[in-house]
Structure 1
Amino acid sequence: MHYALNLRTFFYSHYFYLGLRFAAGLVGVTLITLHFSDMTTAMTVCIGALCTALMDMPSPLRHKFNEMSASVLLCSAVTLLISLCAPVPWLLMTMLVVVSFLACMMVVYGKKSMPLQLATLFIMTMSMEHEMSVRQSFMHTGLFTLGAVTYLAYAMGISWILRHRIKQQVLAEALFELAAYIDIKADFYDTRYNLNEQFNKLVRHQSLLADRQQASRDLILRAHQNSKDAIVVQVHVCMLDLYELILSTHTDYAQLRMHLADSPVLGTLHDLAYKAARDIESVAYDVTRKKASYAEISYTPELDAIEAELAALQQRIDEGKPQQEALAVLRAQRNKIRAIIKMIGELHQASQKVYDTTPFWVDADMGPFLSQQKYEFRMILSHLRMDSPIFRFSLRVAMAISAGLAIGAWLPYAAHSYWIVLTIVIILKPSFSMTKQRRRDRIVGTVIGCVITALIIKFLNYPALILGVLILATVAMPTFVYLRYRYAAIAVSVMILLQMYLIAPGNDNLIMERLVDTMVGAAVATAFSFVLANWEYQSLPRLIREVLDVNLRYMQASFDLLQGKGKDDFAYRIERKRLMDSLAALSSALVRMLDEPARKQRAVEDINLFIVQNYLLVAHVAALRAILRRHAKELPAGPVNAMLGESHEQVVGVLTQALAPQAAHARRPGADALATAATTADTSSVPWSGWPLVQRRIRLLQADAVKIIVHSEAIVRNVA
């Protein structure tokens, strides 16, 4: 279950804070306007505030101001344009289609532009029902802009006051997702779970974890100026170091299960991982409450049990029984888990200290770690071509809205075309899987919302109660819109239907009409989701190539770090982030493809394995870092660097071959041999306790690199 759906953490999450901020702003603007004017004016001002509120998301203050200002200007312009065109039906229809197309083209600017697109289409549909004179249109737009600017000022003021609080909440969300990630890893030690299924589950969760960590970076690393900021910066950095240690715990779980199947130590390892997840959750829990975190979980019983098992294995070896492999694997896991427990302790300490300055890389450019967004008009122009998914999506929405308007005009009852159009723009998304999910949530949410509203009107028709339900729905809608859209759909249906009932209480068919309009809009959106559709398999070659390209750079930075060529791990962290982002993008595409029709799915198993193998390369590098740190005493730098250099050349050669255009048809001689090639560095003459562990990891690294070629070739063949 998502952490924010747990009552223990819900009221401290940034989702609930967003709902409160949203509701207080909308209700406040409406009540103040009602005090000086009538209901019609108040609703116009309220809708202006609502459109701006759709852009009210956790962001750095400068970015938030720019995003919300863009919403004010764009939505005001659309309001004026549609209001002026409303008296001329053919011109209105033309403008609706044109505005829909242009609003959908804004998706080229990425995920941040989606709320702006929705706000634009929302005010377009709200403005199409009112016929006004030119003077009335300008007055209506002025009132709309007044509400929008008022909410902008209010939201910026609240965000400035709570700027540090929002950082804490977003950081805590990343920590909660890291704890959930460890919970998945804990089940690798449970023989009841299939290893392949667990790996797939782990990789899927990685994309969500990467998204939450990026949100934390964008807020925390852009501006850190005082001692309060210093604490969240340090906790954030500790979280990323802890994540790398967790990656290094990857081992041959099948071998571990085989050797220790009859031992209770697997259950002990599971319990240790479970406790570690709860320990991280306790840090996140305290961060959301602006408190220093202190360790309250004891790992001693489980660690003692592992030591006892290691002693028993050693005794069996002394008796001549072949238990060396089991001893080595269990000892390695014990060492990694101890390192993780120590890092969790540092995570607690990071939340306790008081810093004079932010303890981060001095004078370092944080740009590579942050989301870079450029809003250039030429980006839209570059996508005005039929092979662009964004262009096809924009055409699809424009055609669907045209069909919705035609059906609304044809229906025999007093249909409201704007409701049909609004349903279409809410459901129809750039990808088929998003459309499918949104359609399901929209229909279910609308039906439940209609039933709740009907019960309130029939049995609980008291002004005070209706007002209370309205406020509750206004809080719930933004709270759940990014958390559980189905709940948001219920809330928005209740909110709008009760508002319409208060404005026009004589319409006995209000709820049934809205329900029918929603079903019509959903049917139109479903039909057009197949028109000019962009299927996920079409983007696979590009995503695969991006992963391989970034992995090459990551391997270069990794081996430079392992060989001590750099003064710090800054470049390594940048490339690791980029690789994780590219893997998250590929994993998300795979998840979306699985929601598409079966005939549109390609190379599902090979994509799964390709993602896993790239993930394993990251895990092997993390493990090598941990081994070199753990065995730093008497480290023979020369021979170790020679071994690492040779391994680097081999792995880079394999990844370069996978990137080559001809890789699918002409493989370089000897490529398969790289998987098992032994390093030629002479290690026998230099005694060092880390040799067996380093050599084993390098062999695994080389073997998994070669498997990447196999799966990338298979994906290209299947897609072609």
Structure 2
Amino acid sequence: MHYALNLRTFFYSHYFYLGLRFAGGLIGVTLLTLQFADMTVAMTVCIGALCTALMDMPSPLRHKFNEMSASVLLCSAVTLLISLCAPYHWLLMFMLVAVSFAACMMVVYGRKSMPLQLATLFIMTMSMEHDMSVRESFIHTGLFTLGAVAYLAYAMGISWILRHRIKQQVLAEALFELAAYIDIKAHFYDTDKDLTEQFNQLIRHQSLLADRQQASRDLILRSHNNAKDAIVVQTHVCMLDLYELILSTHTDYAQLRAHLADSPVMKTLHDLAYKAARDIESVAYDVTRKKASYPEISYEPELDAIEAALAALQQRIDAGEPQQEALAVLRAQRNKIRAIIRMIGELHQASQKAYDTTPFWADADMGPFLSQQKYELRMILSHLRWDSPIFRFSLRVAMAITAGLGVAWLLPYAAHSYWIVLTIVIILKPSFSMTRQRRRDRIVGTVIGCVITALILKFLNYPAFILAALVLSTVAMPTFVYLRYRYAAIAVSVMILLQMYLLAPDNHHLIMERLIDTFIGALVATAFSFVLANWEYQSLPQLVRTVLEVNLRYMQASFDLLQGKGKDDFAYRIERKRLMDSLAALSSALVRMLDEPARKQRAVEDVNLFIVQNYLLVAHVAALRAILRRHTKELPVAQVNAMLGESHGQVVEVLTHALGAGNGEHAQVSQAGQASGDALMSAAALSAQDAPAAASALVPWSGWPLVQRRIRLLQADAVQIITHREAILRDIA
């Protein structure tokens, strides 16, 4: 369950704060307007505030102002344009289609433009029913703009006051998702759980975790000027370091199951992971409550049990049993878990003390860590081509709206074309899977909302209760729109139907008419979701190539760091972040593809394994960092660097072959991949054979076996990347 759906944390989450801010602004603007005008004017002002409120999301203050200002200007322009065209039916139909197409093209600017697209289409549908003169159109637009500007000023003021609080809440959300990530990893120690299925769950959650970590970066690293900001910066950095340590455990599960499947120590490892997740949750919970966090969980019983298991394995080895591999794997896991526990302790400490300055890289450019957003016209123009998914989506929406208007005009009963169009624009999304999910939630939410409204009007039709229901639904709608859209659909249905009832209390068919219109809009949207569709498998080759390109840069930065070539790990952190983002994008595409028709799914298993293998490379690098940190005593720097340099060269050769192979025919892909794979496998095997001799010839050092084993695994997993890339290309072809 999502952390914000738990009552213990719900009222501290930024989702609930957003709902309160949203409702306070809308209700406040409406009530203030009612002091000077009638209900019709107040509703116009309220809709202006509502369109601006759709852009009210956790963002840096400057970004929030720019985004909400864009909404004010664009929605005001659309309101005026549609109002002026409304008296001329043919012109109105043309402008509705044109505005729909232009609004959908804004999706090229990324996820943050989606609320702006929705606000534009929403006000377009709300304005299409008004038959006004030119003078009335300008007055109507002025009232709309007044409400939009009023909410902009209100939201910016509240956000400035709560700017540090919002940082805490977004950071806490990233910590809660990290705890959920560890909960999934805990099941890797449960031998009753299928290992492949657990990997699948982990990969799906990875996309969400990457998104939450990026939201935390964007808020926290853009402006950190005082001691309170320094606390959240330090906590954020500790969270990322902890995440890397958790990644380093990713490579040992299969070996643990192979050697210790029947041992009670597996249950102990599961319990340790579960406790670690709860410990991180306690930090997140204290961060949301603006409190310093202190450790309350003891790991000693489980750690003592692991030490006892290690001692028992050593006794078996002394007795002549071949348990050396099991001992090495369990010992390595013990060391990683101890490092994770220590880092969780540092996470607690980071929340406890105020810092004079932000404990981050001095004078470093944070730009590479942050989401870069450029709103340039040439980005839209570059997508005005037939093979652009955004262009095809825009055409799809424009055609669906045209069809929806035609259906409304042909129906024998007085259909509300604006409601049909609104349903279409809410349901129809750029990807088939998003459309499918939104359609299901919209229909179910609307039905439930209609039933609730009918019950209120029949049994609880009192002004005070209707007002309370309006306030509650107004708070619930923005609160759940990013958590559970179905709940938001219920709330918005209740809110709009009650508002319509207050404006037209004599319409006894209000609920049934809107319900029928919703089903018509959903049917049209479903039909057009197959028109000019872009299936996820079509984007897989480019996404896979991007992962390989970023992985090459990541490997270079990683081995530079391992060999001590840089003054700090800043470049490594940048490339790690980029690799995790590219893997999250590929994971998201895979998850969306699984929601598409079976005949449109390609290479599902190989894409999944390709993602896993790339994660394993990250895990091997993290493990190598941990090993080198743990065995710094008498470290033979020259010899270790030579081994790392040779391994780096081999891995880079494989990844380069994989990238180069994509430029030829699929037969050539297979030959190149097989050749490079065979070469590296031979090199890895030779390394394994020569390892004991090399170790004895070099300076004695306790870390040699661990480093050599990790490098062999790194090389072997790099080879598997080629194999799965070949299979993906063949299946798509």
Whether these two folds match at TM > 0.5 is yes
Amino acid corresponding to residue 674 of structure 1 in structure 2: L
Q: 2:717 aligns with which of 693, 700, 704?
A: 704
Question: Which residue matches 1:673?
Answer: 679
SS across alignment from 2:333 = helix
CA distance in 1, matches of 2:516, 2:203: 41
**Equivalent residues in 2 for 1:300-379, closer than 5 Å:** 300-379=300-379
Amino acid at match of 1:701: L
- Quick one: distance in 1 between partners of 2:441 and 2:458? 26
For residue 673 of structure 1, report the CA deviation from its aligned partner: 3.5
Contact 2:549-2:659 at 8 Å conserved across structures: yes
Contact preservation (8 Å) 1:22, 1:478: yes
Do 1:207 and 1:588's aligned partners in 2 also have CA atoms closer than 8 Å?
A: yes
Which residue pairs with 1:454 in the alignment? 454
Preserved contact between residue 678 and residue 699 of structure 1 (Cα < 8 Å):
no
Alignment RMSD = 0.9
Q: What residue identity is the alignment partner of 1:78?
A: V
Is the contact between residue 677 and residue 722 of structure 2 (CA under 8 Å) also seen in structure 1?
no
1:59 and 1:219 in contact (8 A); partners too = yes
Does residue 1:687 correspond to 2:700, yes or no? yes
The letter for the 2-side match of 1:376 is E
The structure 1 segments of at least 4 consecutive aligned residues displaced by more than 4 Å after TM superposition are none
CA contact 2:238–2:343 (8 Å) conserved in 1: yes
The alignment partner of 2:321 has SS state of: coil
Match of 1:639 in 2: 639
CA shift digits 1:18-53 (9 cap, x unpaired): 000000000000000001100000000000000000
CA positional deviation for 1:262:
2.4
Separation in 1 of the partners of 2:255 and 2:651? Answer: 25
Quote how far apart the aligned CAs of 1:415 are: 1.4
* Distance in 1, Cα, partners of 2:506 & 2:410: 24
Cα deviation digits, residues 371-421 of structure 1 (max 9, x gap): 001100011111111100000000000000001011111112221100000
CA contact (8 A) 1:108 1:380 kept: yes
**Where do 1:205-224 residues align within 5 Å?**
205-224=205-224
Residues 108 and 390, structure 1, Cα contact 8 Å, conserved in 2: yes
Q: Which residue of 2 aligns with 1:244?
A: 244
- Residue deviations 1:543-588 (CA, integer Å, cap 9, x gap): 0000000000000000000000000000000000000000000000
Equivalent residue for 1:664, pick from 637, 647, 669: 669
Corresponding residue for residue 420 of structure 1: 420
2:531 is the counterpart of 1:531: yes
Determine the C-alpha separation between the residues in 2 that align with 1:670 and 1:295. Answer: 50
Q: Distance in 2 between matches of 1:325 and 1:570?
A: 36
Aligned partner of residue 356 in structure 1, secondary structure: coil
The answer to whether the Cα contact below 8 Å between 2:536 and 2:592 also exists between their aligned partners in 1 is yes
1:715 aligns with 2:728: yes
The Cα shift of 1:671 comes to: 3.1
Q: Give TM-score, length-normalised by structure 2.
A: 0.97
| Residue equivalent to 2:149 | 149
Amino acid at match of 2:358: T
Q: Deviation per CA, 1:75-115, whole angstroms, max 9, x where unpaired?
A: 00000000000000000000000000000000000000000
Letter in 1 for 2:328: A
Measure, in 1, the Cα distance between the counterparts of 2:622 and 2:351: 25
Q: For each residue in 1:39-76, what CA deviation from the matched residue of structure 2 results, as whole angstroms up to 9, or x when unmatched?
A: 00000000000000000000000000000000000000
Q: 2:598 corresponds to which residue?
A: 598
Change (3 A) 1:565 1:678: farther
Name the counterpart of 2:50: 50
Contact 1:535 1:600 in 2 (8 A): yes
Q: Can you list the C-alpha shifts for 1:234-281, whole angstroms capped at 9, x where unaligned?
A: 000000000000001123323212322222110000000000000000
Aligned-residue offset at 1:665: 4.1
Inter-partner Cα distance in structure 1 for 2:678 and 2:496 = 63
Quote the Cα distance in structure 2 between the aligned partners of 1:412 and 1:366.
60
> How far does residue 131 in structure 1 lie from its aligned partner after superposition?
0.3
Aligned residues: 720
Cα separation, 2, equivalents of 1:253 and 1:54: 44
- 1:648 equivalenced with 2:648 (yes/no): yes
Q: Do the aligned residues in 2 keep the contact of 1:639 with 1:683 (CA within 8 Å)?
A: no
Does the CA-based 8 Å contact 2:431-2:534 persist in structure 1? yes
- Structure 1 residue 139 corresponds to structure 2 residue 139: yes
Partner amino acid, structure 2, of 1:458: K
Q: Residues 246 and 340 of structure 1 are in contact (CA less than 8 Å); yes or no, is this contact kept in structure 2?
A: yes
Residue 126 of structure 1 aligns with an amino acid whose one-letter code is M
SS at match of 2:290: coil
User: Residues 554-573 of structure 1: matches in 2 within 5 Å?
Assistant: 554-573=554-573
Match of 1:380 in 2: 380
Residue of structure 1 in register with 2:258 after alignment: 258
Aligned-pair distance for 1:684? 1.6
Q: What is the match of residue 191 of structure 2?
A: 191
Name the amino acid aligned to 1:697.
Answer: R
Code of the aligned partner of 2:677: A
Cα distance in 2 between the residues matched to 1:615 and 1:317: 33
The aligned amino acid for 1:157 is G
- Unpaired runs of at least 5, structure 1: none
Q: Which amino acid in the other structure matches residue 671 of structure 2?
A: A
Query: What letter corresponds to residue 260 of structure 1 in structure 2?
Result: L
Give, in angstroms, the shift of residue 678 of structure 1. Answer: 3.6
**Post-superposition shift, 1:354?**
1.2
SS at match of 1:583: helix
Answer yes or no: is the 8 Å Cα contact 1:606–1:715 preserved in 2: yes
Partner of 1:59: 59
2:461 is paired with a residue whose SS is coil
| Structure 2 equivalent of residue 489 of structure 1 | 489
Identity %: 86
Query: What is the Cα deviation at residue 670 of structure 1?
Result: 5.2
Residues of 2 paired with 1:499 and 1:94: CA distance? 30
Is residue 664 of structure 2 the alignment partner of residue 629 of structure 1? no
- Give the whole-Å Cα distance in 1 for the aligned partners of 2:507 and 2:250: 63
